[in-house]
Each structure stands twice: as structure tokens, then as C-alpha cells.
């Protein structure tokens, strides 16, 4: 079965009983420097059954498997779809300081929450009791029904996360909306790292995006830590250099 149909058919199954799906994915969790960024994309059944998803979604994939040019082209198409009201998309980030304060898992959840809040607040997913005939005018006017959306998060379940969600391991390779979210997050973060490269050009952030490439590690060894490096991650890197038998960092997303 073609990849396009796999991604669409997965989402068409997951949307059963709901009016929409929101795919969520993060980028930058394994980097040595820079923020962690999450994307969130809301799709409806009408979109999944519509012309774009039927004819063009075959180009959507896990962002790691696409070239920078392919991701940028899809970003432009997502912007057009959002402008037409066919999808809703947003991204959120957590800073290096927040990564140090909350650890990478806490910062990842923070970035995901910020991405989702650009679409719906957590309170929109809480069950509300509909006002009855004896309710006040204020109660009736302020009533907001529960959102009928299923949230699909790439990876494992997130303990203490304020949004009800379904965790999908390797979701960016299975779900169209999660793959779209991964592209949103990747393009947004790459652009952030290009801006940070202009402030710290000696590290090469525009090329390696903060991941642990040989070029990046060599720059850290020569220059030390910059303000956008994650101290806890660099401690591991420096320990590895002192003990080559330790497991090595690999370039990531």
C-alpha cells in the first residue's frame, strides 16, 4: 500500500467518533544546543477525505526522512491550507534555560503544551455540564462544549500532561497529522538555529542544528560552551571525551 494511503488510512481510523485529530511531535530533544520545539496540527475528516490529502499527502513523511527543501515546500503548502481553514497548525518551544530547569522531558512537555495551546487550551477538553432552563443568562452565555478532538502524540504516554492524549510510538511514520506536526516543528527549529548561528557563527549551528556531529563536538572542545548550549548535555559529552568507552552521541532530529 502506498505510504500516502497508509498515513491517511491510519488517521481515518483514529478519527472515528471524533470531529478532529490533532497530531503532536517534537524536534530537538537529543540536541546539545538550542531549544526543543513541538508542532501541533489539527485535521478533520473532511480534510482527510479531501483533494489535498488524496493527491498530495504522499509527499508527507517523518521529517527526518525529508530534505530541507522538501520540508520548506510542505511548510508553504501547510500555510496555504491553514489560510483556507482546511487545517490548523501551531508550534511551541522550550528554551535552554527551561531545559536546564525542568530536564529535557519536562521541557518537551512544555513545548508540546504550548503548541497545543495555539489550537485549544487544556480546558477545552474538560467535560462541561450544559446549562439547563434554570441557569442564569451568564451561565448560558459562558458555556463552552467539550472539544471533540483526539490528540495523537508521537512517542510514549506523557505522565502529568494536561491534555488527554493517545501515544503513538513512531507516530510520525504512521499518522499523517503527526508527520505534518513533525515537519512544522523541524522547519521552525531549523530557522531558530539559523538565527542563533548568526549570533554564534563559530559553532556552525546553521549546519548541524545543535546536534552532536563531529564538527560540533570539535567546536565545543576548542571554544567551550556558548550561552545556548545545554549544560547537562555537555557534561555527558565531556565525560565521553574523557572516557572513549562510553556510548557516543549520535546526530539526531
Query: What number is the average pLDDT over the span 186-207?
Result: 96
Q: What is the CATH number of the domain that holds 177?
A: 3.30.420.10
Per-residue pLDDT, 134: 63
pLDDT at 147 over 90: no
Per-residue pLDDT, 144: 53
Is residue 223 included in any domain, yes or no?
no
Provide the number of structural domains found in the chain: 1
What count of other Cβ atoms lies within 10 Å of the Cβ of residue 64? Answer: 12
Per-residue pLDDT, 132: 59
- The sign of the CA dihedral 224, 227, 230, 235 is positive
- The 3-state DSSP class for residue 18 equals coil
What count of other Cβ atoms lies within 10 Å of the Cβ of residue 74? Answer: 22
Is residue 56 included in any domain, yes or no?
yes
Strand 149-154: give its sheet, edge to edge.
Answer: 88-94, 36-44, 20-27, 149-154, 166-168
Query: What number is the average pLDDT over the span 94-112?
Result: 97
- The 3-state DSSP class for residue 105 equals helix
pLDDT at 176 over 80: yes
Q: Are the beta carbons of 89 and 40 closer than 8 angstroms?
A: yes
Per-residue pLDDT, 146: 79
Is residue 78 included in any domain, yes or no?
yes
Is residue 111 included in any domain, yes or no?
yes
Per-residue pLDDT, 234: 81
Is residue 213 included in any domain, yes or no?
no
The DSSP-derived string for 30-92 is T-SBS-EEEEEEEEEHHHHTSHHHHHTGGG---GGGS-HHHHHHHHHHHHHHHHTTS-EEEEE
pLDDT at 241 over 70: no
Spatial CA neighbour of 104 closest among 160, 34, 22: 34
pLDDT tens track for 62-78: 888 899 999 999 999 99
Q: What percent of the chain has pLDDT over 70?
A: 83
Q: What is the pTM of this model?
A: 0.86
The answer to which of 85-99, 130-144, 192-206 has the lowest mean pLDDT is 130-144
Is residue 200 included in any domain, yes or no?
no
Domain that holds residue 61: 3-190
Amino acid at each position: 500500500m502506498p505510504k500516502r494511503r497508509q498515513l491517511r488510512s491510519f488517521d481515518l481510523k483514529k478519527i472515528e467518533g471524533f470531529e478532529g485529530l490533532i497530531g503532536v511531535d517534537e524536534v530537538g530533544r537529543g540536541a546539545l544546543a538550542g531549544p526543543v520545539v513541538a508542532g501541533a496540527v489539527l485535521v478533520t475528516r473532511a480534510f482527510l477525505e479531501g483533494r489535498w490529502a488524496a493527491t498530495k499527502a504522499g509527499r508527507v513523511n517523518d521529517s527526518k526522512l525529508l530534505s530541507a527543501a522538501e520540508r520548506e515546500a510542505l511548510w508553504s503548502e501547510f500555510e496555504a491550507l491553514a489560510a483556507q481553514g482546511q487545517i490548523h497548525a501551531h508550534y511551541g518551544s522550550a528554551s535552554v534555560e527551561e531545559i536546564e530547569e525542568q530536564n529535557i522531558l519536562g521541557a518537551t512537555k512544555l513545548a508540546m503544551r504550548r503548541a497545543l495551546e495555539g489550537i485549544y487550551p487544556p480546558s477545552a477538553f474538560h467535560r462541561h455540564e450544559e446549562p439547563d432552563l434554570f441557569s442564569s443568562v451568564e451561565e448560558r452565555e459562558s458555556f463552552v462544549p467539550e472539544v471533540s478532538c483526539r490528540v495523537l502524540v508521537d512517542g510514549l504516554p506523557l505522565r502529568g500532561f494536561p491534555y488527554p492524549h493517545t501515544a503513538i510510538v513512531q507516530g510520525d511514520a504512521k499518522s499523517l497529522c503527526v508527520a505534518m506536526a513533525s515537519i512544522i516543528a523541524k522547519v521552525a527549529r531549523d530557522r531558530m538555529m539559523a538565527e542563533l548561528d548568526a549570533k554564534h557563527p563559530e559553532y556552525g549551528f546553521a549546519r548541524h542544528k545543535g546536534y552532536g556531529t563531529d564538527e560540533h563536538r570539535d567546536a565545543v572542545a576548542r571554544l567551550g560552551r556558548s550561552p545556548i548550549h545545554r549544560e547537562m548535555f555537555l557534561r555527558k559529552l565531556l565525560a565521553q571525551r574523557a572516557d572513549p568507552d562510553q556510548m557516543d552521541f549520535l546526530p539526531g532530529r
